[in-house]
Amino acid sequence: MARKAFVTGSAGFIGYHLCQRLLAEGWQVLGLDGMSDYYDVALKQRRHAMLSQHPGFRAVEGLLETPGLLHGLMDEFRPDVVVHLAAQAGVRYSIDAPRSYVEANLIGTFELLEAARAFPPEHMLLASTSSVFGANEAMPYAETHKADHQMSFYAATKKATEAMAHSYAHLYALPVTMFRFFTVYGPWGRPDMALFKFTKAILNGEAIDVYNHGDMRRDFTYIDDLVEGILRLIAAVPGADPVGAADSLSPVAPWRVVNIGNGAPVQLMDFVAAIEAATGREAQKNMLPMQPGDVPATWADATLIEALTGPLPRTEIGEGVRRFVAWYRDYYQV
């Protein structure tokens, strides 16, 4: 019998790619997405439509925070594994619309934890973010580093979901893995992310906004590499025995947090140069100061995930950007 996965945020960028891989490997997948208008809903609908062509996929539209919705889906589907990717994303938008982060990230995650308490899966995997490291300047970021000084409300809600999940793991023996993602990019990516915005502007002959005057570094993680990490971590269920000194396994619960990143930060101007090379056009640049809530650099320590899963693929930034630009030109016919 096929194993069953419940994926929230299945019409999102990461959720879509993860569902594709799960289906290709023979899983039955129940996908939930709220289809919020934070960015182009047509892009989300297209992703769900493509997934729905597979007989093993079932799509449900609904908001995480709807009382009883997740409880009912968990009762009906009884998944072996839950991968919780749905969230209100975006550092900058959390300054303008903080309530949406409370509703989706805090209340929505609470509803999922309550549903899992009633119908426990073998493993719950929940998305967090590298933004939780906040003001911590010790890099590369390790899971065992302090992450107490978040610099955006988005990051604060994600750190809160880590703590919420830990309490449920302790109280109800729910095996939980938290992911901290590092600047994920690739085909079908989010329009609010730098790669999408820069590519669109460059192809339209418009200027791009370069923050902190270009003095930024990001640990760009290609989507296929990230999904491979998630798939391998499904089998790495937190238990009683840590895998080494770097493990973030809780001393009181089957809970750990794991970085998924490329482990090699890229200068922002090198990233822009890769887009220029892929598009064949030079960017006009508006050099601007740092935006509120942002951080100048991210860099993942990949020691723990490689101890749990073995070495992961690392797509080179120029190749990953070329694949995105090729997708963008095809999708938007430019």
| Secondary structure E strands in the chain | 4-8, 28-33, 57-61, 81-84, 123-129, 176-181, 184-185, 207-210, 217-218, 221-222, 255-260, 266-267, 284-287
CATH class of residue range 4-185+221-262+299-315: alpha beta
Q: Which residues contact 42 (CB under 8 A, 6 or more apart)?
A: none
pLDDT band of residue 35 (cuts 50, 70, 90) is very high
Instruction: State yes or no: pLDDT of 3 exceeds 90.
Output: yes
Mean pLDDT of 213-227: 94
Q: Are strands 266-267 and 221-222 parallel, antiparallel or unpaired?
A: unpaired
pLDDT band of residue 17 (cuts 50, 70, 90) is very high
Q: Where are the domains of the chain?
A: 4-185+221-262+299-315
Is the C-alpha dihedral spanning 290, 282, 328, 126 positive or negative? negative
Mean pLDDT of 253-264: 95
Rg for the chain, CA atoms, rounded: 19
pLDDT of the residue at 266? 95
pLDDT of the residue at 280? 97
Cβ atoms within 10 Å, residue 271: 23
pLDDT band of residue 186 (cuts 50, 70, 90) is very high
* Span 85-142, pLDDT tens digits: 999 998 888 989 999 999 999 999 999 999 999 999 999 999 999 999 988 888 899 9
Mean pLDDT of 59-75: 98
pLDDT of the residue at 167? 98
Residue of 16, 39, 141, 154 marked catalytic: 154
Question: Exposed (0-12), middle (13-18) or buried (19+): which is 137, by Cβ within 10 Å?
Answer: exposed
* Span 134-172, pLDDT tens digits: 888 888 999 999 999 999 999 999 999 999 999 999 999
| Residue 154: active-site member | yes
How far apart CA 27 and CA 4 sit, in angstroms, is 6
Nearest-5° Cα angle at 133, 129 to 245:
95
pLDDT band of residue 313 (cuts 50, 70, 90) is very high
Between helix 108-118 and helix 153-172 the angle, nearest 10°, is: 10
Instruction: State yes or no: pLDDT of 293 exceeds 80.
Output: no
Q: Which of 126, 276, 105, 278 shows the shortest CA–CA distance to 187?
A: 278
pLDDT of the residue at 298? 85
pLDDT of the residue at 312? 94
pLDDT of the residue at 135? 87
Per the prediction, the chain carries an average pLDDT of 95
The tokens of 135 are what?
């003001």
Q: What is the largest CA-CA distance in the chain?
A: 56
